[in-house]
Amino acid sequence: MAKKKKDISMNMLRERALKLPDVTEEMFLSCNQHNVELIQEYLETNNLLSPDTLKQYKSALYQFVYYVKTSLNDKEFYKITKRDFKRYMSYLVNRGMSSSGLKFKKSAVSAFCSKFLEIFIIEDAEYPEYRTFRNFTTGTIEIPKNQTYNKIPISKEEYDLIMETLLEDENYLGCAWVATMFNVGCRRSACIQFKSEIINYPYATDKKTGKELNYKTSHFVREKGKGMDGKVVDYMIPEEVLKYWRLWLEKRGYEHEYIFTVKYADEIKVMSKTWADSFCSDVLSDIVGRRINVHLFKASCVTYMLEQGKSLKTVSKHVAKHESIETTMIYDLRDDTEEKNSLFD
């Protein structure tokens, strides 16, 4: 008998946004050539964004330019008004887009206006029509704070259930990935950079006593950050993770430089970032009976360590790899019910 799919919408706070139509290169190039050429120059000369962020900016700008074509009569950028941009934001709001999505869409267009059009094009003799140009995204719309899903951290009990289930399924790659994401504190983009050689690294030792500790330190990986290099950090890999890495490397049946790899036919590739999205929605969500997404793991790791009594400062510096405790506090999803209940005793 087929296993009944569990309800995974139980932690939804609002309906998902309608998916925006994909704007292909062909669709983009069909837009006003004046706008197309300026966007292309901006993207080609922008070396302050990481490759991943640049890709997101490209998508957001393509969406906006195509909206200008279909809804604003394909007018040139210098003719776009604040009222026009307010209409664009209303279009996104009416499709149910989250506040974070709205902010990114707005910031991508705003950066193009303020960091390119207002600085370089406004002074270019080739574009006299831009001499009075002003960023049309400023002061256009208040973006309400909203959430599509209630952020409930993955508990230790749920983690144990996930690991037990994946082991029963002989999904050793899944075991290695979940153990890493729940216990290390890295993002998925860093996770796929871990090399198999870490298994052979020596365990860390206490500098005072020389005692061998229960973790190894990884090589440096690139994390989210500004520019091409981003933020380069190393991570503590505890034995809880190492044992599942060993199991996966033993079972996968081939040698590879990186730990997180997939094999399609006879071709072996480093795991793509989208692998995690499908794994969370198609496998993990069914195991725990609620929606799990990849972004929940870092918060779950931070929350679990804080629940175990680890200091916020230590977790922030050595696990979350944040530059400020304030940033780490955003990832703290501990239940404060008891604190609230004691306020009016």
Summarised one tens digit per residue, pLDDT across range 13-28 is 445 556 677 899 999 9
Q: How confident is the model at residue 274, as a pLDDT? A: 87
pLDDT, the chain, mean: 87
pLDDT score at 16 = 53
Distance CA 189, CA 295 (A): 11
Comparison of pLDDT for 142 and 319, the residue scoring more: 319
Q: What whole-number distance in Å separates Cα of residue 163 and Cα of residue 336?
A: 27
Read off the pLDDT band of 97 (50, 70, 90): confident
Cα separation, 331 vs 296, whole angstroms? 9
Pairing of strands 261-264, 267-270: antiparallel
pLDDT attached to residue 324: 85
* pLDDT value for 6: 47
- Residue 12 CA, distance from chain mean position: 19
User: Residue 19: what pLDDT?
Assistant: 67
* Predicted pLDDT of residue 237: 97
Highest mean pLDDT among 159-173, 260-274, 313-327: 159-173
pLDDT value for 216: 96
Query: Residue with structure tokens 């206490």?
Result: 206
pLDDT value, residue 329: 84
Mean pLDDT, to the nearest integer, of 110-126?
A: 94
Q: Which residues of 294-313 are buried (b: 16+ CB within 10 A; e: fewer)?
A: bebbbbbbbbbbbeeeeeee
Which of these CATH numbers, 1.10.443, 1.10.3290, 2.60.40, 1.10.357, describes 156-340?
Answer: 1.10.443
Residue 113 has pLDDT above 60, yes or no: yes
Delimit the domains of the chain by residue range: 25-130, 156-340
Q: What is the mean pLDDT of residues 54-77?
A: 94
